[in-house]
Amino acid sequence: MASASLQFFAFVLALFGVFGDIIATLLPNWKVNADVGSNIITVTTQMQGLWMDCTWYSTGMFRCTLKYSVLSLPVYIQAARTTMVLSCILSAFGICITTVGMKCTKLGGDTDSKSHACFAGGVCFILAGIFGLVATSWYTREIISDFLDQTIPESRKHEPGGAVYTGFISAGLLLIAGLIFCTSCFKKQQEAWIYPSKQHHFPSTERESNGAYNLKDYV
């Protein structure tokens, strides 16, 4: 019962991680730069994401432009795109597989099959979390290095946006969920190895006892 509850808790964490992963991938605020200008009334907020760049004006206008060209993008943005998409795909696979393998569901067949499915789903979550951490860490490193570079003007310097923090949190949730699923499967296997089946058959002793009773009958 405790293992089933722990698996359900890990599944909820994985769901939050998947939704956060998808949201972080689509959000345009990976980089944020607030340009006040000469007047506070003309303040603009420039945001850059993996797929589009957006500008928000203090007057309420909002304008976005899509990044159509892939080859013109910096390497870290291309890598972030690829790793975040892989993270979303793997986490979605993990949700489907662990749904079959959890103890609280009636899918997946016998206990061994469900245990293997849980382990496979946990591996998918761990890989998805690693890909998410690679994307957010590399992107954050580039933002910080540009911010500390004295040769770059202040107007071109950015700070990490909400999408980066969402990606970090989602990757952590996926890693925790994957570790819980994998360790729960390992515990089941260890219990099977340490505590084997208690039904022992001793055919030789049974035969001897039966033979003794038969001799008594004849005497």
* Residue 175 falls inside a structural domain: yes
Burial of 79 (0-12, 13-18, 19+ CB in 10 A): middle
Q: Tell me the pTM.
A: 0.79
DSSP code string of 157-212: --EE-HHHHHHHHHHHHHHHHHHHHHHHHHHHHHHHHHS-------HHHHHHHHHH
- What does the pLDDT read at residue 210? 52
* pLDDT over 80 at 41, yes or no: no
- What does the pLDDT read at residue 219? 46
Beta bridge partners of 52: 66
* Residue 152 falls inside a structural domain: yes
Burial of 58 (0-12, 13-18, 19+ CB in 10 A): middle
* Residue 157 falls inside a structural domain: yes
Position 170 confidence tier, pLDDT thresholds 50, 70, 90: very high
**CATH of residue 106:** 1.20.140.150
Higher model confidence: residue 166 or residue 216? 166
* Residue 183 falls inside a structural domain: yes
* Residue 200 falls inside a structural domain: no
* Residue 97 falls inside a structural domain: yes
Strand order in the sheet with 62-66: 62-66, 52-57, 44-48, 31-35, 159-160
Weakest mean pLDDT among 54-58, 83-87, 165-169: 54-58
Instruction: Give how many domains the chain has, as a whole number.
Output: 1
Per the listing, tokens 């909820």 go with 12
Burial of 165 (0-12, 13-18, 19+ CB in 10 A): middle
Could you give the dihedral angle defined by the CA atoms of residues 136, 141, 142 and 148, in that order, rounded to the nearest 10 degrees? 140
Q: What is the mean pLDDT of residues 150-166?
A: 88
111, two tokens: 């206990």
| Diameter over CA atoms, the chain | 119
* Residue 202 falls inside a structural domain: no
Residues 45 and 55 sit within 8 Å (Cβ to Cβ): yes
Nearest residue to 135 (alpha-carbon basis) of 80, 75, 173, 88: 80
* Residue 65 falls inside a structural domain: no
The residue range of the domain holding 10 is 4-28+70-193
Chain mean pLDDT for the chain = 81
